[in-house]
Structure 1
Amino acid sequence: MGTEDIYSGLRASAGAIEEELIALRRKLHSYPELSFEEERTSDAVAEWLNGLGLDAVRRGVGGHGIVAELAGSRPGPRIALRADMDALPIREETGLPYASQVPGVMHACGHDAHTAMLCGAARLLADRRDRLAGSVRFLFQSAEEINAGAKAMIEQGALEGVDEIYGLHNLPTLSAGQAGTRFGALMGSVDQFEVTVTGRGGHGALPEQCVDPVVAASAIVMALQTAVSRELSPFSPAVVTVGSVHGGASYNVIPERVELAGTVRTFSPDVQEQMPDRLARLAGRIAEAYRCTAELHYIRHVPVLLNHDDQVRRVEEAIDAVLGRDNRIEAPPVLAGEDFSVYLGRVPGCFFWLGSGPETGAEQAYGLHHPRYTLNEGCLAKGAALLAAIAIRNEFPDANLHSDNKKRSRS
């Protein structure tokens, strides 16, 4: 059987199980679970996997995560495929018949779809294990939304022996049936900061007897923007956002302290490394100018998501074969984060976008994390076939379906 026959067979088989994938995704969508609470989701995944004859299915990895193994018929690399399973604390407003039945919790990022796609890929590959060189490890991960699941999975051995890793994320602003790849940095780092500004409280009518942390905190919010606009090159994109300000409980009382919280996003590991010192200096010295003190608590979540060139080419070849070259685009970088970056810091791999939006472009597509976010379920079978294709083409180590890709450099 030739390479093209393999891909044609994957497309056809994925189409044959499309209704099952839709039913699984809707089941997960109706009962979403927050990070590290994905027990019911894990049960559904385990039920699907247990009928496939896999070599091992290990539960409870990194929370409610599942690690499953499928050995091929010949020696070769171990390829990991990952899907995330958790939902968000958002009240769903789609009005769909299978909308969330859990108040205040919604699959507004499409992790239910990612889980269904990887379940589909597991079945496609299990049916073709005699055509598979090496092995495939399926990672169903908890707690991506809080940037904790990948670290927890790794700590419990999910990457041991893995040679390469691949993952995808649906994108509702890209039509279903299309996919986007990028060499190098695709998504930003994610850090969190908290600043406590302390002064001396008192009566709002007697400010001279107080040291006002509200005024100092306001100046710090403005000054933090200069950490990007005046201290970084415009060719080193970064964002500092203050998303939370808390201080005081009455209109006529100057509080003792004000608490700020926000996020830092960058595309450069070097810039990410330098940001804590920048923020501490700015906050501390601005606070001092107002006779206050400022204490910075800086929390590193995940690094920049840096794809590896050889693995990007591998994904591009699979996309071209499964979806068609005309349906592959170069993805623009985004400063949103993904804890898949933690895996990529340990083994080579690639993370890419799979379109999940309307195919005609006539309908409005709500973005990720929106209470009216919806997903074009036509992407489910395509995603399953694509993930399977990335792994199964290990049988053709010398295949060079698109030699022009080899000439591309990191962009």
Structure 2
Amino acid sequence: MEIKELARLYKQYVINMRREFHKNPEASLKEFWTSGRIKGELDVMGIPWVSCAGTGIIATIEGMHEGKTIGLRADMDALEITEANEVEYKSQNDGIMHACGHDGHIAMLLGTAKILNECRDKIKGTVKLFFQPAEEIARGAKMMIDEGALNGVDGVFAIHLWSGLDVGKVSVEAGPRMAAADFFKIIIKGKSGHGSMPHQAIDAVVAGAACVMNLQSLVSREMNPLESVVISVGSFHSGTRNNIIANEALLEGTARCFNPKIRQEIPDVLERMVKNTAAGYRAEAELRYVEGTAPTINNVECSKLAASCVEKILSRDAVAETEKTTGGEDFSLFLEKAPGIIAFVGIRNEEKGTCYAHHHENFNMDEDALEIGTALYAQYAVDFLNSK
């Protein structure tokens, strides 16, 4: 039986598992029930596994013939969102929701485990199944890598179910697909005073506001206009009441780009701008910059292989192009260690109401996409292992 036929056979199993995970979402690094449920399914299949990165899991399927090793990854964590969908599998955990598709990723990888376990005679090498925690806080991939998950792995592959693509379409383009996602804090130090006598104080609010405005010019005036860069301040906290000039302000934001060289330059550029801006208002500024995820860059050869897999399980017309996104993905750390690709599998369907953005309280998916993703995971694994 071909892989796409097996994916069709296990379609309802994958849908049922997805709904079970959707009903029981857990936040990053707290995926205890999720982890236990996955282990239980792997035990039923007779697939050996080990724990990794706390709640993470590495399962191993050995083929009948020696060869390379491929790692297939699915992330497990949910988001701190209160679900607005009225469905039978609505989240039962208050304030937590699978609003990014990770429930589908887990279910598809379990369906893939069934397929590959049944097709071990066709597998030339080893398949590692990575059930990864804490993607939403950009910590899980690093934790798994630090514990040796990628030791001996020759290639990696992941799927992200994607609301920006219609169901039946798959994007496997080469090159940068998701941005580096870094974070920063700016602490402005001034001097308190009475609101009626600002000349006796150093206003942290005004200095902070000037920093926010001046940061906007970094992209438009210091970055190559052919490069995509985003610098956003999302939080500004200062002051205690209306007639006290604040002595401190805290700004928090994010920086996004696709070019690793630009990523290295941004902290110095930010620090120069905020220190000099604050000094213009007699204040002092401190920048605290934290690297999050690297750019997610798909390997050219792996992209070609993935496109051929999509043609096998669907058709040539199913291979779609979509814009790269400034959203971040810690699968990028896997791609720094081994050649691979992240595929975007479409879940959008206006007629079924699955047309909301990721991280929206009404996010949902056309579950027909789960059969496609399950088949793609399995087909890529087999074809990668059979390639020279």
Identify the TM-score tier after normalising by the shorter chain: over 0.9
Residue 362 of structure 1 and its aligned partner are, at CA, apart by 7.9
The answer to whether the 8 Å contact 1:181/1:331 transfers is no
2-structure distance, mates of 1:249, 1:109: 37
Compute the TM-score of the two structures, normalised by the length of structure 1. Answer: 0.92
What is the rounded CA distance, in whole Å, between the counterparts of 2:270 and 2:321 in structure 1?
34
Quick one: distance in 2 between partners of 1:82 and 1:396?
19
Asked if 1:382 is matched to 2:372, the reply is yes
Q: Which amino acid aligns with 1:119?
A: L
Aligned partner of 1:13 in structure 2 is 6
Tell me what 2:50 maps to: 58
Q: Is the 8 A contact 2:69 2:385 kept in 1?
A: no
**DSSP-derived class of the 1:294 partner:** strand
Letter paired with 1:124: I
TM-score normalised by L of structure 2: 0.98
SS of the residue corresponding to residue 299 of structure 1 reads strand
Q: Is the 8 A contact 1:132 1:395 kept in 2?
A: yes
Residue type matched to 1:214 in 2? Answer: V
User: Offset of 1:393 from its aligned partner?
Assistant: 2.1
Identity %: 37
1:47 corresponds to: 40
Query: What is the 5 A alignment of 1:335-354?
Result: 335-354=326-345
> Within the alignment, does 1:31 sit opposite 2:24 as a pair?
yes
Match in the other structure for 1:409: none
**Deviant stretches of 4+, over 3 Å:** 360-364
Cα distance, 1:331 vs structure 2: 2.6
SS at match of 1:51: helix
User: 1:207 corresponds to which letter in structure 2?
Assistant: P
Alpha carbons of structure 1 residues 364 and 138: separation in structure 2 relative to 1, 3 Å: closer
Cα drift, residue 203 of structure 1: 1.6
1:218 aligns with 2:204: no
What's 2:250 paired with?
259
Does residue 391 of structure 1 match 2:367? no
| Structure 1 vs Structure 2 CA RMSD | 1.3
Which whole-Å CA distance do the structure 1 matches of 2:355 and 2:138 have between them? 26
Q: CA deviation at 1:128?
A: 0.3
Equivalent position of 1:401 in the other structure: none
Find the residue that maps to 2:222 and give its secondary structure. coil
Give the secondary structure class of the aligned counterpart of 2:272. helix
* CA-to-aligned-CA distance 1:132-176 (integer Å, 9 cap, x gap): 101100000000000000000001111010000000101122122
Q: What SS does the aligned partner of 1:67 have? A: strand
Query: Contact 1:131 / 1:395 at 8 angstroms: preserved in 2?
Result: no
Alignment of 1:4-403 (within 5 A): 9-54=2-47, 56-59=48-51, 61-358=52-349, 363=353, 365-394=355-384, 396-397=386-387
Distance verdict in 2 for CA 1:273–1:394, change over 3 Å: closer
Give the Cα–Cα distance (whole angstroms) in 2 for the partners of residues 50 and 363 of structure 1: 36
Residue 404 (structure 1) aligns with:
none
CA deviation after TM superposition for structure 1 residue 247, in Å: 0.5
For residues 351 and 367 of structure 2, the distance between their equivalents in structure 1, rounded to whole angstroms, comes to 15
- Distance across 2 between alignment mates of 1:68 and 1:210: 61
Residues matched between the structures, number:
388
Offset at residue 223 of structure 1 (A): 0.5
Contact 1:175–1:361 (CA under 8 A) maintained in structure 2: no
Deviations 1:78-104 (A, max 9, x none): 000000000001111111121111111
Checking the alignment, whether the CA contact within 8 Å between 1:307 and 1:349 is kept in structure 2 is yes
1:406 maps to which residue?
Answer: none
Q: Alignment partner of 1:386: what SS?
A: helix
CA offset at residue 16 of structure 1? 1.4
Counterpart of 2:19, as a letter, is R
> Structure 1 residues 22, 362: closer, same or farther in 2, change over 3 A?
closer
Amino acid at match of 1:378: D
Identify unmatched segments of 5+ residues in structure 1: 1-5, 399-411
8 Å contact kept, 1:113–1:380 = yes
